A and B are shown apart, each in its own frame.
Chain A
């Protein structure tokens, strides 16, 4: 049930373009808005399918907004649809940031801008530390020792030993996979056949 008429392509492109241009706050904000547009308004995608798409978008590498756009485009109009939605999603930030970077040097040399940026940087640092506290809280609530050890180990490795981030991700991904397989096995044994 893939649609390939010009109207569908135009609607698809404009929908993701508008969502990308107007969404502040990244992937966790844009996905609910995509659900509203594609599930409720256009009725192109089922509710459950959208939930699965969200899970895939969050489990895949890269920006969640881009991943979700790829899935929507692919679902509605195949590979051409996916390429179109990627283009629609990256164009607004590409244009906005290009314009900002053209003026960046003049902007940065301005004394007032400098003070405002210094103040905003304090705000950004606080926002990120706030997010970190929330996320560490979620790990803590699992009441499992392994995730806490991984968290502490990764922190020490990256902060004090400058271990390559990609190496840490690969190692922790393997730990996660082994842990999942082990737990699945354990679970099956514990259950009555």
Chain B
């Protein structure tokens, strides 16, 4: 039963994450934090962090992570298969159409229409992560005393470095990790 749930959740994540990279993030959050009680928001934030620091697509990384936590290695494999299954069917169909007709303008039109919505969803998931990092919860805190000022400053500094010097994200995260170790143990 748990395998079927894992497969179905990751099938939906694989089917509806369009536009790559961060597009899968809000869907993963929806399925594994909101629909199923598989991860807490902190664990979800951890898997996003781990996925950023290791090779491989975030959807596959999270499939393995969630699958292992919920049902061991078989769970990891089932979730991963669920995640790539829709891609296999759809990409092979599109490849077939491409080699037959060499035209994909409607598909690209749909993609263009989806892009703003995907950005909006990534923004929302990003805000949830930002609030988790700075207030320990994914929604706005009721009073300002819950805000961790050091974390807020660290986020702001990392954001400034990224905007100003276009530094590689991995380096920014490694730097933030080191800064976190020093600052959070001092304050």
Which residues of A does B touch, CB under 8 Å? Answer: 20-28, 52, 55-67, 70-71, 74-75, 79, 82-83, 86, 90, 92-94, 96-98, 100-102, 104, 108, 112, 115-133, 135-136, 139, 147-148, 150-155, 158-159, 164-166, 168-169, 172-177, 179-181, 183-184
Contact = CB atoms under 8 A, between A and B. Distances in A.
A165 B31 CA distance: 10
A150 B104 CA distance: 23
Contacts of A132: 119, 122-123, 126
25 contacts: A25-B170, A55-B104, A59-B107, A65-B57, A66-B87, A70-B87, A90-B60, A97-B50, A118-B133, A118-B151, A118-B180, A121-B46, A123-B176, A124-B176, A125-B158, A131-B122, A147-B116, A151-B116, A154-B117, A155-B121, A158-B121, A165-B26, A172-B117, A177-B113, A180-B105
Contact of A75 (B53, B95, B113, B116): B95
A98 B123 contact: no
B61 A93 contact: yes
B21 A28 contact: yes
A176 B72 CA distance: 40
A123 B133 CA distance: 9
B33 interface: no
B21 A27 contact: yes
A26 B45 contact: no
A126 B176 contact: yes
A67 B172 contact: no
Given A56-B98, A125-B130, A125-B155, A173 B114 contact: yes
Contacts of B6: none
Interface in B139-187: 151, 154-156, 158-159, 161-163, 169-170, 172-181, 183-185
Contacts of A66: 57, 60, 84, 87
Given A64-B57, A94-B60, A115-B180, 17 more contacts: A56-B95, A56-B98, A61-B17, A64-B20, A70-B88, A70-B91, A100-B54, A101-B65, A117-B180, A123-B154, A126-B161, A130-B162, A132-B122, A154-B121, A155-B124, A158-B121, A177-B109
B116 A172 contact: yes
